[in-house]
Amino acid sequence: MKKVGLKARRSMWSLLAGFALSLILVAQAFGAASYYEGKTIEIIIPFSVGGGSDIWIRTIGPYLGKSIPGNPRFTYRNIAGGRGIPGMMEFALKAKSDGLMMLVSSATNYFPVLLGDKAAKYDFRQWKPLLVNPVGGVMYASPASGVKRVEDLAKAKNLIYGGISAIGLDMIPLISFELLEMDARGVLGFKGRGEARIAFERGETNLDYQTTPAYNATVVPLIQEGKAIPLMSFGQLDDNGNIVRDPAVPDLPTVPEVYEKIKGKKPSGKFWDTYKIFMPSAFAVQKILWVKGDAPAEAMRVFYEAADRLGKDKEFVTKTSKVLGGYPLLRGDRLEKTIQQAFQIDAETQRFVREWVGKKYRVKLD
């Protein structure tokens, strides 16, 4: 009987090792696929039907169902009112560790935590982000204001901004006005950004902001007609958490860039500290799909992998472009550190913000 040569034995063992590895990978894939096989995932939406977050998850939901192994079914439950707190608490109190109840959140849900609202008893540290969608914001002015470029903001007088609430997304432009020491007055109480934009078009206000999807759809035409002057974006975050230009409007400077143009130095002070805390949660990580933190690892993994696949799916990218605002659908595991940092605020800054909105905008917080 001939002896098997050393080279042959090595080849045989390599083949066996490769075969064994293939079996392991197949077993893992089968396990992931079988986890959601025949199951239904309930999505809690702490807003009314037809709102931005509701449209967001209902748009991407069918694609997720097709992309996730096992093709789970998605159902949606809207719990509106109370600044989104009742819906958030429903998930916080009733979600189990089986990964079958998830939550959609937006900036409205983050600010109560940052502001220390006692009614917001939910803790983001107990949950895991599965999917993230950033959104941008752009400031623009009326030519009638006398502002033709950002440097003019230092001398412009009687600027009037239309907003909804000082403790919602309007906080970011309002903080920007203070940081840049602009002579700008906030008129609050509008029912939505669309209504605020109409007031701008009527000449009732001369300063406005819109999210990047709305900006591209409704403000760019005004700019082309000479009825609006683009000024700045609120920015996005890079991988190190630094504020950088928004890729959706790369030609526009960020708020800190405008500060440097006007002041000749880098921003600093209480309003700068506040901006750095509130801007990321307001825009850079605005929409998030969450699952309970102790959900099975395979339940989380299939969502991360679905995000990767959908990012390469031409149909998904094309048909969801308007809803996603032109930004990619991001994996939550790669942004977890950034997200958790976005929800941290020191006691001194929190006290400063509460006093500021209380005195200037008469906001009473619990």
Number of residues assigned to the chain: 366
Q: Which two tokens stand for residue 74?
A: 């998605």
For CA atoms 88, 89, 90, 93, give the dihedral sign: positive
Cβ proximity of 233 and 246 under 8 Å = yes
CA 351, CA 26: separation in Å to the nearest integer? 54
CA 314, CA 155: separation in Å to the nearest integer? 47
Cβ proximity of 361 and 188 under 8 Å = yes
Q: What is the 8-class DSSP label of residue 284?
A: I
**How crowded is the C-beta side of 354, counted as CA atoms within 13 Å?**
17
Which residue type occupies 208? D
pLDDT digits (tens, 9 = 90+) for 289-309: 999 999 999 999 999 999 999
pLDDT digits (tens, 9 = 90+) for 205-222: 999 999 888 898 889 999
CA 73, CA 154: separation in Å to the nearest integer? 54
Cβ proximity of 74 and 43 under 8 Å = yes
CA distance between the termini of the chain: 88
CA 89, CA 95: separation in Å to the nearest integer? 10
CA 48, CA 52: separation in Å to the nearest integer? 9
DSSP-assigned beta bridge partners for residue 78: 45
For the cut 90, the answer to whether the pLDDT of residue 27 exceeds it is: no
Q: Is 201 exposed, middle or buried (0-12, 13-18, 19+ CB in 10 A)?
A: middle
Kind plus residue range of the DSSP H or E element containing 159: strand 159-162
pTM of the model: 0.80
pLDDT digits (tens, 9 = 90+) for 46-88: 998 888 889 999 999 999 999 999 999 999 999 988 888 999 9
For the cut 50, the answer to whether the pLDDT of residue 127 exceeds it is: yes
Mean pLDDT, the chain, rounded, equals: 90
Q: Which domains does the chain have, with CATH numbers?
A: 36-134+285-334 (3.40.190.150), 137-282 (3.40.190.10)
